[in-house]
């Protein structure tokens, strides 16, 4: 191949120490922010009530609530400990769902419970005055409390365990899939390390930017893993194909560089397509989606980076720069699908069949014209 002979391609593998150093530095900074958050707030991340416990309240207000819920959120902020979640019902704009940790004071459990009740009563009164006027009368009650639940910290701990378990099971299954598909543990291990890299980068930026970690955060992580492993598999597949074709004449490092250059445009276009949609949602989707989409954006960029600059250099390092594959054999289905060229004795019969088919088409056209007349 001319490209391999001339060496006209970007050499990713030779610069692997630079790419890996960048990743280590970014991950180190993220871990530092996690430690800072732990010292300041007692938690590595800005956890929502799904993990720390808190109140879930569904209110029906007399007046319609604006769809972004910002005015309601401004009121709730006064009574909340941390960032509350406010969601307006799309089908009924009079209904709003509030998830919050109530800011309470008190030395005893009874004092904190009484303080919580008072805070929630004051919040409902302020919301009622802002949307149609506060009232406690039976027929004119505003707001109406349609649902009020307390999510305890025990439930939050169970959610954390389930989230970690889902990630572990997902990574193990992905590792087995790559092992079965490529038959090389080096590729499987490199891909899993690249996925762990993406998760750590996302968690680091989440801690640094104080993004809220809610129940949907696990969906962000799993989506990032899915996109990242898809890119990695495509690159590994191209390496395997080129290795079968040119592995006898060129080293694995050179073939890896060629494969990365061949798949780079596809990888970049895939990531950019998703990024454009995420940015559009960040602009038009409202503030409630901001943290979710910001984490998704960071993860997508990290996933595209790791597929090109992390997974392949690691695979090359694990193999010691040596990996051989058997040339691809033609499958039986491929052999059956191959077109057979007729010999000289059959050529005349084929020609007659073509001529007869042509004559039939011509006769049909003549008949149709006569009918139209």
Q: Is residue 351 part of a domain?
A: no
Which pLDDT score is estimated for 26?
A: 94
* In-domain check, residue 233: yes
- Locus of tokens 């090109």: 308
> Which of the given ranges, 168-177, 216-225, 259-268, 294-303, has the highest pLDDT on average?
294-303
Number of domains, the chain: 2
Pick the closest to residue 229 from 170, 290, 316 (CA basis).
170
pLDDT tens track for 47-75: 777 777 788 888 999 898 888 888 898 89
Please give the average per-residue pLDDT across 21-42, as a whole number: 90
CATH, residue 267: 1.20.1640.10
Average pLDDT, the chain: 80
Q: Which stretch of DSSP H or E encloses residue 87?
A: strand 85-88
User: pLDDT tens across 166-175, in order?
Assistant: 888 888 888 8
Distance CA 144, CA 59 (A): 6
Residue 354 lies in a domain: no
Beta strands 46-47 and 212-213 are parallel
Last residue of a domain, one of 319, 334, 368: 319
pTM of the entire structure? Answer: 0.67
- Per the domain annotation, does 4 fall within a domain? no
Count of Cβ atoms closer than 10 Å to residue 81 Cβ: 14
Residue 346 resides in a domain:
no
| Statement to judge: residues 124 and 229 lie in one domain | no
> Which of 271, 287, 319 is the endpoint of a domain?
319
Eight-state DSSP code of residue 59: E
The pLDDT tens digits of the residues spanning 104-125 come to 777 777 888 888 888 889 999 9
Interhelix angle for 185-209 vs 217-246, to 10°? 150
Residues of the chain above pLDDT 90, percent = 16
Asked whether the predicted pLDDT for residue 191 surpasses 80, the reply is yes
Range of the domain at 231: 13-42+155-319
Q: Where does residue 134 fall: left (phi above 0), alpha (psi -120 to 50 degrees), or beta otherwise?
A: beta
- Is 227 found in the same domain as 291? yes
Q: Are residues 247 and 287 in the same domain?
A: yes
Domain contains 6: no
64 and 174 belong to one structural domain: no
Co-location of 228 and 136 in the same domain: no
Give the mean model confidence (pLDDT) for residues 9-24. 83
- Give the pLDDT band of residue 25 (cuts 50, 70, 90): very high
Residue 327 lies in a domain: no
- pLDDT band, residue 22 (cuts 50/70/90): very high
Judge if 36 and 184 occupy the same domain.
yes
154-158, 271-275, 303-307, 352-356: which has the minimum mean pLDDT?
352-356
Place of tokens 């303080």: 115
CA distances from 265 to 117, 261, 269, 279, 308 (A): 58, 8, 6, 21, 11
Q: What's 84's domain CATH number? A: 3.30.70
């Amino acid at each position: 191949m001319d490209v391999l002979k001339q060496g006209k391609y970007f050499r990713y593998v030779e610069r692997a120490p630079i790419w890996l150093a960048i990743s280590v530095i970014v991950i180190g900074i993220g871990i530092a922010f996690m430690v800072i958050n732990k010292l300041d707030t007692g938690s590595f991340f800005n956890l929502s009530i799904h993990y720390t416990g808190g109140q879930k309240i569904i209110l029906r207000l007399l007046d319609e609530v604006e769809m972004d819920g910002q005015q309601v959120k401004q009121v709730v902020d006064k009574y909340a400990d941390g960032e509350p979640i406010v969601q307006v019902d799309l089908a009924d704009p009079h209904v709003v769902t509030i998830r919050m940790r109530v800011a309470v004071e008190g030395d005893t459990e009874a004092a904190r419970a009484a303080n919580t009740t008072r805070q929630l009563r004051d919040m409902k009164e302020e919301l009622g005055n802002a949307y149609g006027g506060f009232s406690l009368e039976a027929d004119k009650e505003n707001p109406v409390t349609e649902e009020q639940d307390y999510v305890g910290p025990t439930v939050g701990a169970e959610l954390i365990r389930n989230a970690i378990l889902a990630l572990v099971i997902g990574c193990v299954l992905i590792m087995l899939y790559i092992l079965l598909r490529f038959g090389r543990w080096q590729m499987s291990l490199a891909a899993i390390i690249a996925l762990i890299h993406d998760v750590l980068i996302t968690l680091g930026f989440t801690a640094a930017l104080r993004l809220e970690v809610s129940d949907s955060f696990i969906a962000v992580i799993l989506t990032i893993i899915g996109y990242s492993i898809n890119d990695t598999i495509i690159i590994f597949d191209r390496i395997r194909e080129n290795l079968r074709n040119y592995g006898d004449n060129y080293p694995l490092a050179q073939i890896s560089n060629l494969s990365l250059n061949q798949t780079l445009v596809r990888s970049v276009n895939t990531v950019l397509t998703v990024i454009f949609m995420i940015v559009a949602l960040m602009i038009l989707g409202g503030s409630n989606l901001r943290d979710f989409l910001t984490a998704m954006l960071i993860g997508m960029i990290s996933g595209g980076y790791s597929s090109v600059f992390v997974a392949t250099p690691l695979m090359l390092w694990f193999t010691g720069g040596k990996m051989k594959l058997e040339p691809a054999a033609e499958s039986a289905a491929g052999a059956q699908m191959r077109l057979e060229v007729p010999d000289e004795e059959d050529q005349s019969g084929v020609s007659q069949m073509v001529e007869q088919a042509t004559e039939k088409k011509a006769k049909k056209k003549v008949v149709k014209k006569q009918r139209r007349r």
